[in-house]
């Protein structure tokens, strides 16, 4: 496994792989890798000949009161895990390498970020789309793999790729969960044991919504009210949003239908967690 830290070196390596006629997949990460990330990497290897994993905690997607400095990091552990899944290259640029002094350009998707997490994280998705666009130009992948746990991120990046005619296949992988149902996240490490128990209310509330829908409930507000009450029964929970929406536009749905997306963001203690699921008949 090769470790690359500069843009020029990464571009040269990608050019070499392409000249050899091999396909290249990218899994962008902010490090502190867990089984969810490793599942994305294994999926990427199923689709392409060579795998690049990026490890970069992107400062531009963190707001002024968010956890950039405290975001968990474990570089040596990450490299070992990437090697274990047989990544070919780990791209580890510095912030100075990715955002040189005087940089003025950003990539903005207009409408999709105006929903869900974008409502309380102003500028977050501008940071996401800008860094992912840069990674796409640097790594030059044929395919890029993202988790469906970050559903809005996947939707925004897919829209960017479509709108800018990027010749990259975007692959979404279903949410990977702990044995107790909690969606895997680097931020789970912030939870103490009592908060961890309350965090399970996210997945259980998705199951509650699915059960109500299966039993014939079509009123979105009714389902939201049930879910809100259920989550707030658990200690240390504060709801950021509960959304039942169109899975493509992310616009609110008043009447539930097969495929409606339910997305949640809940603070458990000081930790902000997200989860989502599609309602099925």
What are the φ/ψ torsions at residue 52 (nearest 5 degrees)?
A: -110, 130
Residue pair 161/45 in contact by the 8 Å Cβ criterion:
no
37 is catalytic: yes
d(CA 138, CA 135): 5
Alpha-carbon separation of residue 101 from 98, 105, 135 (angstroms): 10, 12, 18
Using a 10 angstrom Cβ sphere, with 0-12 exposed, 13-18 middle and 19 or more buried, the burial of residue 101 is exposed
Largest CA distance in the chain: 58
Sequential DSSP letters for 117-171:
GGGTSTTHHHHHHHHHHHHHHHH--SEEEEEGGGHHHHHHHHHHHHHTT---EEE
CA angle 31, 131, 15 (to 5 degrees): 90
Structure-token pair, residue 234: 């658990």
Strands 50-55 and 89-91: parallel
Residue pair 241/228 in contact by the 8 Å Cβ criterion:
no
Residue pair 62/151 in contact by the 8 Å Cβ criterion:
no
Structure-token pair, residue 175: 């949410």
Candidate list 9, 34, 37, 142, residue with the active-site label = 37
**What residues act catalytically?**
37
């Amino acid at each position: 496994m090769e470790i690359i830290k500069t843009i020029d070196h990464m571009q040269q390596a990608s050019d070499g792989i392409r000249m050899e006629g091999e396909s290249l997949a990218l899994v962008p990460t902010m490090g502190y890798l867990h089984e969810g990330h490793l599942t994305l990497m294994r999926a990427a290897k199923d689709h392409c000949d060579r795998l690049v994993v990026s490890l970069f905690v992107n400062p531009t997607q963190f707001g002024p009161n968010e956890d950039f400095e405290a975001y968990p990091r474990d570089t040596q552990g990450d490299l070992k895990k990437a090697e274990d899944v047989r990544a070919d290259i780990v791209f580890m640029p510095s912030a100075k390498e990715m955002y040189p002094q005087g940089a003025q350009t950003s990539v903005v998707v207009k409408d999709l970020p105006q929903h869900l997490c974008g409502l309380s994280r102003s500028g977050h998705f501008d940071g996401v789309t800008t860094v992912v666009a840069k990674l796409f130009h640097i790594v030059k992948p044929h395919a890029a793999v993202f988790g469906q746990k970050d559903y809005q991120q996947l939707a925004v990046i897919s829209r960017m790729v479509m709108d800018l005619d990027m010749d990259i296949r975007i692959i979404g992988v279903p949410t990977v969960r702990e044995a107790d149902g909690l969606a895997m996240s680097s931020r789970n490490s912030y939870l103490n044991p009592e908060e961890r128990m309350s965090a399970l209310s996210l997945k259980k509330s998705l199951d509650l919504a699915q059960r109500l829908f299966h039993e014939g409930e079509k009123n979105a507000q009714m389902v939201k009210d049930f879910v809100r009450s259920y989550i707030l029964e658990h200690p240390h929970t504060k709801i950021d949003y509960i959304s039942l929406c169109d899975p493509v536009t992310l616009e609110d749905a008043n009447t539930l239908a097969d495929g409606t997306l339910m997305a949640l963001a809940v603070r458990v203690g000081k930790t902000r967690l997200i989860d989502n699921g599609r309602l099925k008949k």
